Structure 1
């Protein structure tokens, strides 16, 4: 098994957004970190190769 090194970062969210995200994580039996990381991977995949204007 290959262990992927992770680093810490900071993220500021509206209180109600974080609360909703935590509830979803509990309902999906996952973590807020996993949800955010998956969303970031999707965003990068979708936008890779696109130039910003």
Structure 2
């Protein structure tokens, strides 16, 4: 089994490869690090349920 903290801790590793960020400039391809940062920002805003 897992608890909410486990999901919170693993979210970046599990979800970052599923995120495709829009390129803001022609020929620019967002990096995996940018996707990880975006997921990390979103996860940080969501409180872990008790």
- Which of the five TM-score ranges fits, normalised by the shorter chain? 0.3 to 0.5
User: 1 or 2 for the larger relative contact order (CA 8 Å, sep ≥6)?
Assistant: 2
Name which one, 1 or 2, has greater alpha-carbon Rg.
1
TM-score by length of 1: 0.34
TM-score by length of 2: 0.36
